[in-house]
Structure 1
Amino acid sequence: MSDILRLLARSTSVSKATAPPKPKQSATPTPVAEVKLTTAARRREQKRRAAANAANGPTGSPVTLVAAPPQADEQQTTKNGKEGKEKSKKRKRDEVEAVDNIVSVPNGPNTLDPAEVRSLLKQHKLKYTILATLGSRKELLKAALEKGQEDRTEAGRAASKNATTKKSKRVKEGQEKGKKEAGNDDNEAAEPKTPTSTKLDQIFPTPIQTFEELRTNYNISKRLYENVMVQNFVAPTEVQMGSLPLLLDGTRHLVHGLEECGLDLMTIAPTGSGKTLAYAIPAIDHLIRTKHEEGDSYEKGIRVVVLSPTRELADQIVNEFRKLLLGTGIKVVGMKKTLIPKERRRTRDTLNENEDEDEDEDEDEDIESSEDDSKEDDSDIETTNGSVTRSKKGIAVKSEIMVATPLLLLHAIQLCPDLFPVSNVSRIILDEADVLLDDLFLSQTTSIISHLTSPSLSFSFWSATMPSNSESLATKLISSHSSVLSSNKTRKLVRLIAGIKDSSLPTIRQTITYTATERGKLTALRQLFSSSLKTPCLIFLQTIPRAQALHAEIMYDLPTPNRIAVLHSNLSETARSKVMDSFRAGEIWVLITTDLLSRGVDFRGVNLVINYDIPTSVASYIHRVGRTGRAGREGGMAITYYTEEDVKYVRGIVGVMEKSGGAEGLQKWMLTSLPKTTKEDKKELKKKGVKERRAGAGTADGKKSRISTKSGYDRKIEMRRKAAVDMSKKRVIKGSEESDEESESEWEGFA
């Protein structure tokens, strides 16, 4: 019995001893395929494998899993799965943070996918085109060779690819025929043909989408950024989105196609789209960087020149710059005649006074200073040896930014090269560039640019309209400049089009009305005054006499007196400034003017623009209409009157209305049945206006185009009264001159 008990106890101990041991963790784990698992265990292992792969990342070493023994606890497996999921989530968060850090790296634009960049540019209607590659002959030849080599490489690849594709198809049809044609394709691949396409190259920079990117991505001056944000701009406009990445320093080399190249920019954007801010921010940031880099060796003086065709626009540009320059240490000055010493001014006046006055009257443009300038007080200017040294307002020529009209700045440079040194000018900005490159201003603009000798000079052209001849003139102007010819790197002229070229804003409601005669215009205008006049209102006419005549005719048509005024270039500067201030303050409701105010001047509250006389060109129409609807403001309206004499000039205006999409009541027959304007008619209209409304037209035409409702008898009496008053004034002046001469002849001096 004892033996049996001993035997049973030994068997029990043997069974414990022979129990399967727990597997040990080894350096070489057991392959998964060698372990047989149940269905539930296999599922658990798949989850563990996915968690382990996620934890190690896609670039990690391959992971080999070890099967758990059948005694492994299921809770431990679940715990490991949760840890793997947590690691996976943490890894994803780390990846997102890393991407965010890369995107928000300062001094560089956002890293966007090329497809996203193109989609963004298409959404905002931004198009970049390289108009010309400029520079010295050596650099151009080098760039042409590099480009030719790239073209040959691409052509060779394309030809070889086509040859391979064609060969595979031809083998199926026949081996002999396939061999012959493949040999021909190889010859074509060896000698690619020179591309004959004239299509211009395009580039795709990353546009900015918020003003905050100027600080975070482009690292502009903190003070400049604060001045921009104080203006309460909600978001950058299209022209600002597209131009700022190209003009700001330090990021141009990141744009594909502009690596190691100089850049000149031509920007075409609708009126009221914020072009002034688009070129002011880069110019100021460039000056701040230059001042910081040069340190103690920095010298004040003119470094940026802004040209504009009219004084009103120049004054407006100066005001916009001053808002952005607060606290930066950079100064801006508007060029005035009083900055030139009297002695040198008199020398120029005796030689060119008559010529300048005739040019001002004929073109109805505010090119230069009027008679009021000669009456301004020069007592604030101190002279030393006939030259201006300083004034009560500070040293004007030591301002870094100079805003001026072309002829006035040219006279200052020619008469006072010591007071207006321009050798350090690194940027020249042409606002309303198509006018500055027109025949009226071209000689003055080119003369100014010829005096700018800085090797780092860059050009920028800005306008709402830019014809092809202006583009070619700009290209020639840059390519012939000494800074480009002596440069050791190539320059590229890039054209940026924001929106639809040569069109007005779609937010402006545009109508065109046939009035048959001049009396019909006056009747339609008075009917508008009594029914649906939206003030403030601008009324444009062709000539100064017509503007004065319309003002005399309707000055009392509004119920409140003194609410209608007239503005033209024959008025003194003081009178013009007073009218402008009153119109902006709301004291004047209706302002009658010529094309003097059609360009660039910002009236943000104008609700209605009336083209009483048809514009002299399509560009003039676009700029006139652009005085309303500024800065995205909706509700602006434009009305154009035309008579029987204007029919042959209407088709171009109708085309602009149809292209912009803001036309009301535009009928289809106007797009097809109206006569086309010939080139000769366009040139004549642009230079002289409609023949019947020119100053000094014949008597028959004068009666036909007269702005008046008075009878002929009343008009004769009025003219006689005016003639009598003029004759009496002349007699008084003549009598005073004769008395002065007699007194001078009688005076013999002291004995």
Structure 2
Amino acid sequence: MDFITFNFEPALQEGLDAMGFDQPTPIQEKAIPVIMEGKDLIACAQTGTGKTAAFVLPILNRISKSGAGTLNTLILAPTRELAIQIDQQIQGFSYFLGISSVPIYGGGDGIVWEQQKKALETGAEIVVATPGRLIALLAGGKMDLSSLEHLILDEADRMMDMGFSDDILKIVNYLPQNRQTILFSATMPAKIRQFSMKILNKPVEISIALGKTAEGVTQSMYSVYDTQKEDLVRHILSQKAYEAVIIFCSTKDKVKALHKVLKKGFDVEAFHSDLEQVERENIMSAFKNKAVKILIGTDIISRGIDVVGIELVINYDTPGDPEDYVHRVGRTARADKEGEAITFVNPKDQHKFVRIENLIGMKVTQNPLPEGFERGPEYLGEKAKASGYAGTPAPSKNKKKKKKPNRPQGGDAPRPDQPRPEQPKSEQPRPPKPRPQAQQPASAESKPTQPKESSPSKYGQRKNVID
């Protein structure tokens, strides 16, 4: 089928034609008719399948028909980046419709807030907001939601993970009961179903390829030690003149550290929560415009960015949640394009990668380490998951002999804050006899090593001396 089948308003169809939208994706094909019928909906589909258009197009069509000049639709998103992206897509689809939207999010300066406030005052039909900022507006009496007809929750599972469930319920209390509620999610855990029962009315359920990655993604992994990761990522990036690469790290500290290493030889930027909102927007804009080729970030960018032509995704750290792997990999091979995803798996993360393979229903190809690299750890697969395999220690280039524990010399007493390591009786040195404190007080030189109240008679064989 094609978009003409939906019988959209001529101005909306004209916009789709101008943007080159010919055939709907599976989630669009199934969700759009349900939304156009006015029914509540729970839709679950992997990232990169066109979920935004699936809920934006029928809403724009409804507003275009009714000619609403007041606030009609509220879209909630977990992050600023996703809210901005949704707003941009709405502007593109509604180019010939004259329908306005405004993104509402925190973290900006006074100028951004004034722009948001002005857009609300002039009567935007659609508001795309993060829950925290919207709660502040509602509490201050700065928004009237009495005319609202549609509530849409995008990336609902992400909002649950970020602890927004209570905020969403507070927001719902401000909304008319007679409304259409639409919930989109990339995964469908039990908590999402339980939550949906509180805000949806007899919803239709649609699920598309849960936990699956896009067919156009070539997936592979390297079994490596952490000490090999920096050299390996440099090797991979030097093999081809990539135009768009995303590297995912587990923490913002790792993002900063890797950025410091790679910026010496590559066009790279770091994206993390310590940046100001203006900095984040500038970096994302540069990445989308190919002014920056490589973006390093945490899972904050695994959702909510839609950059055309991302060629490579590197999981510098194996994600702890298998579903996060799907979201990360979903940054490439979007809209039936092709892409590559490479994951670095260290010994302690092997069981995590087994869970990922189980979720996506396939065995990921293991690449041999490039020539010149020391041998990496053995990848055991299911055996690692069963045995809790942590791998052998990484080889060290500068091996040092293990020092033997220091034995007391002469008459020096052991430090009271460091218990003596156990030794075989044949090697156990005879401890010096403690001198009675009352009869032989410690000299000035010995006070630091023999503080008061440390006699064996008072504390006995004490294992932990840290109170």
Q: Which deviates further from its counterpart, 617-626 or 529-538?
A: 529-538
Pick aligned residue for 1:403 from 95, 120, 128:
128
Indicate whether 1:285 and 2:61 are aligned: yes
Q: Which residue of 2 aligns with 1:673?
A: 383
Pick aligned residue for 1:512 from 216, 221, 239:
221
Pick aligned residue for 1:239 from 27, 39, 47:
27
Q: Secondary structure at the match of 2:33?
A: helix
Structure 2 counterpart of 1:536, one-letter code: A
Count of residue pairs brought into register by the alignment: 382
Which structure: larger Rg? 1
Structure 2 counterpart of 1:422, one-letter code: L
* CA-CA distance at 1:322 after TM superposition: 0.7
* CA-CA distance at 1:665 after TM superposition: 4.2
Pick aligned residue for 1:544 from 220, 241, 252:
252
Q: Which residue of 2 aligns with 1:211?
A: 3
C-alpha separation in 1, matches of 2:115 and 2:194: 44
* CA-CA distance at 1:638 after TM superposition: 0.5
Q: Superposition pairs for residues 317-396 of structure 1, below 5 Å? A: 317-336=86-105, 369-370=106-107, 373-374=108-109, 376=111, 391=118, 396=121
Contact preservation (8 Å) 2:151, 2:179: yes
Contact preservation (8 Å) 1:547, 1:566: yes
Q: Which residue of 1 aligns with 2:80?
A: 311
Q: Which residue of 1 aligns with 2:212?
A: 503
Q: Which residue of 2 aligns with 1:633?
A: 337
Structure 2 CA distance for partners of 1:377 and 1:313, relative to 1, 3 Å: closer
C-alpha separation in 2, matches of 1:649 and 1:378: 42
Structure 2 CA distance for partners of 1:379 and 1:445, relative to 1, 3 Å: closer
* CA-CA distance at 1:463 after TM superposition: 2.3
| 1:423-443 Cα distance to aligned partner (Å, 9 max, x none) | 221111111111123352111
* CA-CA distance at 1:476 after TM superposition: 3.1
C-alpha separation in 1, matches of 2:122 and 2:160: 26
* CA-CA distance at 1:528 after TM superposition: 1.2
* CA-CA distance at 1:377 after TM superposition: 7.0
Q: Which residue of 2 aligns with 1:648?
A: 351
Pick aligned residue for 1:463 from 185, 193, 197:
185
Q: Which deviates further from its counterpart, 529-538 or 616-625?
A: 529-538
C-alpha separation in 2, matches of 1:439 and 1:579: 23
Q: Secondary structure at the match of 1:673?
A: helix
C-alpha separation in 2, matches of 1:237 and 1:425: 28
Structure 2 CA distance for partners of 1:597 and 1:396, relative to 1, 3 Å: farther
Contact preservation (8 Å) 2:242, 2:293: no
Structure 1 counterpart of 2:3, one-letter code: F
| 1:501-548 Cα distance to aligned partner (Å, 9 max, x none) | 1111121011121112x2111121122123346431101111111111
Structure 2 CA distance for partners of 1:496 and 1:377, relative to 1, 3 Å: closer
Q: Superposition pairs for residues 516-527 of structure 1, below 5 Å? A: 516=225, 518-527=226-235
Structure 2 CA distance for partners of 1:247 and 1:310, relative to 1, 3 Å: same
Structure 2 counterpart of 1:655, one-letter code: N
Q: Which residue of 2 aligns with 1:664?
A: 365
Q: Which residue of 2 aligns with 1:412?
A: 137
Q: Which residue of 1 aligns with 2:45?
A: 269
Indicate whether 1:582 and 2:291 are aligned: no
* CA-CA distance at 1:273 after TM superposition: 1.1
C-alpha separation in 2, matches of 1:621 and 1:274: 19
5+ residue gaps, structure 1, are 1-208, 250-261, 292-297, 337-368, 382-387, 479-490, 679-703, 710-751
| 1:155-197 Cα distance to aligned partner (Å, 9 max, x none) | xxxxxxxxxxxxxxxxxxxxxxxxxxxxxxxxxxxxxxxxxxx
Q: Superposition pairs for residues 67-216 of structure 1, below 5 Å? A: 209-215=1-7
Contact preservation (8 Å) 1:302, 1:424: yes
Q: Which residue of 2 aligns with 1:443?
A: 166
Structure 2 counterpart of 1:468, one-letter code: A
Q: Secondary structure at the match of 2:29?
A: helix
Structure 2 CA distance for partners of 1:303 and 1:521, relative to 1, 3 Å: same
Q: Secondary structure at the match of 2:384?
A: coil
Q: Secondary structure at the match of 1:263?
A: coil
Structure 2 CA distance for partners of 1:598 and 1:380, relative to 1, 3 Å: closer
* CA-CA distance at 1:577 after TM superposition: 1.4
Pick aligned residue for 2:237 from 516, 529, 543:
529
Contact preservation (8 Å) 2:214, 2:334: no
Q: Secondary structure at the match of 1:638?
A: strand
* CA-CA distance at 1:241 after TM superposition: 0.9
Structure 1 counterpart of 2:163, one-letter code: L
5+ residue gaps, structure 2, are 369-378, 398-467
| 1:555-582 Cα distance to aligned partner (Å, 9 max, x none) | 1123xxxx11111121112111111111
C-alpha separation in 1, matches of 2:331 and 2:114: 38
C-alpha separation in 1, matches of 2:255 and 2:308: 23
Structure 2 counterpart of 1:233, one-letter code: F
C-alpha separation in 2, matches of 1:514 and 1:332: 47
C-alpha separation in 2, matches of 1:411 and 1:227: 35
Q: Which residue of 1 aligns with 2:263?
A: 555
* CA-CA distance at 1:675 after TM superposition: 1.0
Q: Secondary structure at the match of 2:236?
A: helix
Structure 2 CA distance for partners of 1:377 and 1:599, relative to 1, 3 Å: closer
* CA-CA distance at 1:289 after TM superposition: 2.7
| 1:212-260 Cα distance to aligned partner (Å, 9 max, x none) | 1122xxxx321111112211123111111111111114xxxxxxxxxxx
Structure 1 counterpart of 2:335, one-letter code: A
Pick aligned residue for 1:477 from 194, 199, 218:
199
C-alpha separation in 2, matches of 1:631 and 1:276: 12
Q: Secondary structure at the match of 2:169?
A: helix
Structure 2 CA distance for partners of 1:412 and 1:395, relative to 1, 3 Å: closer
Structure 1 counterpart of 2:129, one-letter code: A
C-alpha separation in 1, matches of 2:207 and 2:182: 14
C-alpha separation in 2, matches of 1:608 and 1:657: 19
* CA-CA distance at 1:395 after TM superposition: 5.0
C-alpha separation in 2, matches of 1:332 and 1:266: 23
| 1:344-394 Cα distance to aligned partner (Å, 9 max, x none) | xxxxxxxxxxxxxxxxxxxxxxxxx23xx345477779xxxxxx7xx4xx5
C-alpha separation in 1, matches of 2:186 and 2:285: 25
Pick aligned residue for 2:320 from 604, 616, 630:
616
| 1:663-690 Cα distance to aligned partner (Å, 9 max, x none) | 43499x8653231699xxxxxxxxxxxx
TM-score, L = length of structure 1: 0.48
Structure 2 CA distance for partners of 1:541 and 1:378, relative to 1, 3 Å: closer
Contact preservation (8 Å) 1:535, 1:606: yes
TM-score, L = length of structure 2: 0.76
Contact preservation (8 Å) 1:654, 1:670: no
Structure 2 CA distance for partners of 1:426 and 1:379, relative to 1, 3 Å: closer
* CA-CA distance at 1:622 after TM superposition: 0.7
Structure 1 counterpart of 2:64, one-letter code: I
C-alpha separation in 2, matches of 1:445 and 1:397: 25
Q: Please report the RMSD computed on the Cα atoms of aligned residues, expressed in angstroms.
A: 2.7
Structure 2 CA distance for partners of 1:465 and 1:449, relative to 1, 3 Å: same
Structure 2 CA distance for partners of 1:671 and 1:506, relative to 1, 3 Å: farther
* CA-CA distance at 1:472 after TM superposition: 2.0
Structure 2 CA distance for partners of 1:380 and 1:538, relative to 1, 3 Å: closer
